[in-house]
Amino acid sequence: MASELLQKRLYEEFGREQVLTAKEELACYSYDSGIYTLFHYFTPDAAVLAKSVDDVVKTLAVARELKVPVIPRGGGTGQAGGAIAPTGGILLDLSAWKAIEQLTPEDYQAFVRPGVTLDELNKALAPYGLYLPPDPSSGSACTIGGMVANNTAGQRSLKYGAMDRFVMALEVVLPTGEVVTVGGKQARVIKSVSGLDLKTGLFIGSEGILGVITGIRVKVAPVPPARAGILFLSSDRKAIPALIRKLYEAKVVFSACEFVLVQPSAEIAVARNLPDTPLPSPLEMVLLMEFEGNPSGVAWELDTARKIVAGFKGTYSIAENKEDMPRLWLLLDEAEGGVMSSRPGAKRVPGGEDIVVPPSLLIEALEGIQQLVGIAGVSCVNFGHAVFGNIHTGLLLKADDTEEMKRVETLIADIHTLAIALEGSTTGEHGTGLVRSPLMTQEHGPAAEIMKRVKNLFDPDNILNPGKILPIDRPGRSAEEKTC
């Protein structure tokens, strides 16, 4: 059998220790952090635990020989089905390859191997007062390799941008087995426009379909000395885009601007979760605005924002300093938790829905989603990054109700269609993966065809992560194969 031959070849190359083939072990690779893997169960034929460039090169050589897929995987915190194996093959687990090989604070840089997590890197940088700013809220598990592959953004990308702003060079193993460094073979610089920018234009955000990222040189930044914020509890959600616009006009620069939508059915639950906070009636949206930088700049931003917020309907709570900010973040989380408990008997299923619309259409998009969610007969918590118009929809589901789950699959497709109809995009930061690959032509038109040509140039046999970003015709395995 093909799968037995594959396992035999991998044992020959790696020995038994680095290769997993037991059903129970492979079941651990059947999911990521998104909802898609609740509907579909896929396992690889084998997993290789890679800890060197040579391991990656050898894995790709076996894959080319036997014409089987290779699926790179970091922490598995992605939410778009990017790190799962819809057509079997070799799961290339890079999460144990953790070396921080260079830390050069005098040059504001680090060179790491792909399995280092964000928290591990930031812990190593902390004694120098430095950190890597993109923060996808999954830092304890997400790897730097996965962050590059997904071009991770997150809460503070408003001020600092996504990973592409911080990646200076990448070592990549191509599907052919060639090892290349993009961004300068030896350069250790934090600025360069030399040559075609292959890292930003091709590999960053390529979700493992063009190459396996084996080394990452990042630029790091000083930890900002001051931070402050306002939690605004709005009784008029429609006014939120105008509030943000006013803050922009006043030249206030946020480091984060997060929202949680509170629908009428959730108000009581949210109030229960925020017992010591003066709440307006009605309570329609919770908005957390954070400012960080030097102390006098932050004090000015806070003061300016406070005066503007006071002109809008609602109540607010202020954190004057860094030490008090976790309280506001906790209140935001508690508000989200309140909305989550608004459908008795249902569970919040990690979703991964990540649509983004023009900022002025945030409220239209939220109303559209609420309508679709109502039609599907379920409930949800909508939260996200307000300034970008980036909405995460966390569904509140009864996952053992098969009829409900069928409606939910349609609902997810409808949410994506809504985004495109509102001149938005199907994903602001979680990536295309398997979930959104069927929508690429709808979203990008003829440019989707160019993406296929680029993929074909690097990987004519479609070995690397097939089905992600660009759809495949072959169906995956059936859910009946689920054994664990």
Ligand X SMILES: Cc1cc2nc3c(=O)[nH]c(=O)nc-3n(C[C@H](O)[C@H](O)[C@H](O)COP(=O)(O)OP(=O)(O)OC[C@H]3O[C@@H](n4cnc5c(N)ncnc54)[C@H](O)[C@@H]3O)c2cc1C
**Contacting residue, 337, 465, 467, 470, with ligand X by CB under 6 A:** 465
Task: Determine if 150 is a binding residue for ligand X (CB under 6 A).
Answer: yes
**Contacting residue, 44, 69, 76, 175, with ligand X by CB under 6 A:** 76
**Contacting residue, 156, 430, 436, 455, with ligand X by CB under 6 A:** 430
The tokens describing 240, both together, are 């939120």
Site residues (CB under 6 A) for ligand X, limited to 88-117: 94, 114
State in angstroms the smallest separation of the CB of 50 from ligand X.
Answer: 9
Please give the distance of CA 326 from its chain centroid, rounded to a whole number: 22
Mapped onto helix, strand or coil, the DSSP state of residue 128 is: helix
Q: What backbone phi and psi angles, to 5 degrees, belong to 372?
A: -65, -40
The one segment of 14-22, 146-154, 175-183, 447-455 that binds ligand X by CB under 6 A: 146-154
State in angstroms the smallest separation of the CB of 313 from ligand X.
Answer: 29
Exposure of 53 in the CB half-sphere (CA atoms within 13 A): 15
**Contacting residue, 30, 43, 77, 426, with ligand X by CB under 6 A:** 77
Q: What is d(CA 178, CA 158) in angstroms, rounded to the nearest whole number?
A: 36
State in angstroms the smallest separation of the CB of 191 from ligand X.
Answer: 24
Count of residues engaged in binding ligand X, rule: CB under 6 A: 36
Helices 240-249 and 295-309, packing angle to 10 deg: 140
Task: Determine if 468 is a binding residue for ligand X (CB under 6 A).
Answer: yes
State in angstroms the smallest separation of the CB of 323 from ligand X.
Answer: 24
The tokens describing 420, both together, are 């495109």
Mapped onto helix, strand or coil, the DSSP state of residue 147 is: helix
Task: Determine if 83 is a binding residue for ligand X (CB under 6 A).
Answer: yes
Task: Determine if 389 is a binding residue for ligand X (CB under 6 A).
Answer: no
Q: What is d(CA 44, CA 23) in angstroms, rounded to the nearest whole number?
A: 9
Task: Determine if 86 is a binding residue for ligand X (CB under 6 A).
Answer: no
The residues pairing with 104 across neighbouring beta strands, listed in sequence order, are 109
Q: What is d(CA 24, CA 125) in angstroms, rounded to the nearest whole number?
A: 37
Site residues (CB under 6 A) for ligand X, limited to 29-68: 32-33
**Contacting residue, 78, 86, 133, 229, with ligand X by CB under 6 A:** 78
What strands, in cross-sheet order, belong to the sheet with 285-293? 314-319, 226-234, 285-293, 256-261, 379-385, 390-397, 347-356
State in angstroms the smallest separation of the CB of 48 from ligand X.
Answer: 13
| Residues 6+ away with beta carbon under 8 Å from 24 | 484
Binding site for ligand X (CB under 6 A): 32-33, 71-79, 82-83, 94, 114, 136-138, 142-143, 145-147, 149-150, 152-154, 207-208, 212-213, 429-430, 465, 468
